[in-house]
Amino acid sequence: MTACAGVVAMQGDVPEHRRALEAAFDDITTTIAVREPAAVERCDLLVLPGGESTTISRLLTEWNLREPIQAHVAAGKPLLATCAGIIIAATEPNDDRIEPLSLLDVSIDRNAYGRQRESFEASVDVTGLEDPFPGVFIRAPRIEAVGDAKVLARYDGGPVAVAQGSVVGATFHPELPNDSRFHRVALGTYVPTPE
Ligand code: GLN
């Protein structure tokens, strides 16, 4: 199987996401930047990256990407939403300026870590991984409550990654360390991992 992965390219570290996907999965042979509905339809896997969630929410509407992304997920195809991405994917982003995609049943505090800890690195315990994963948190949101989603990873006892159906959300940036383990364990059921 060969797969095309798309990274919604509004803000955030699009090249890093593309590199991380190509490093994690042999079968992902094409990665594209997604800026229009037709591009979503080409993708077997989508990434909604970080950035500024109120801006991303507005652009998703302006670029007519909401329905195609929801249809992608309704078809059972995987979506990885990181940092600002998980805020938008949540059912409760808890900010009136954000129109949620409501794909992950979680409640979010957008800038929970505040100014003094705007960015930090911390070990994250990921279900299915023996050793901790290096979590890079950049003005990270915090998951305040988890409904129907399943917790995939924890930092300091609290949830930092969740999954629901084919949607995976993380408050940290799994694309930044040179480490494919999170991608493989979280998305490997959708994309066969290299031996
Ligand atoms: N806290 C930011 C927001 O609300 C997200 C930060 C990030 O994506 N690095 O948009």
Question: For position 195, what pLDDT does the model report?
Answer: 52
121 neighbors 133 (Cβ within 8 angstroms): no
* d(CA 56, ligand 1 centre) in Å: 10
Q: Cβ(47) to ligand 1 under 6 A?
A: no
**Residue among 122, 100, 131, 129 at smallest CA distance from 171:** 122
Q: What is the pLDDT of residue 12?
A: 82
The sign one gets for the Cα dihedral 87, 91, 94, 97 is positive
Q: Tell me the average confidence (pLDDT) per consecutive run of 10 residues in the chain, 195 residues long.
A: 89 92 91 96 96 96 98 96 97 97 97 82 96 96 97 97 97 97 92 62
Ligand 1 and 85: CB distance under 6 A: no
Q: Where are the domains of the chain?
A: 4-187
Q: Would you call 191 helix, strand, or coil by DSSP?
A: coil
pLDDT at 114 (0 to 100): 77
**What is the reported pLDDT for 177?**
97
* CATH number for the domain formed by residue range(s) 4-187: 3.40.50.880
- Identity of the amino acid at 174: P
- Global pTM reads 0.95
* Atom of ligand 1 minimally distant from the CA of 53: 10
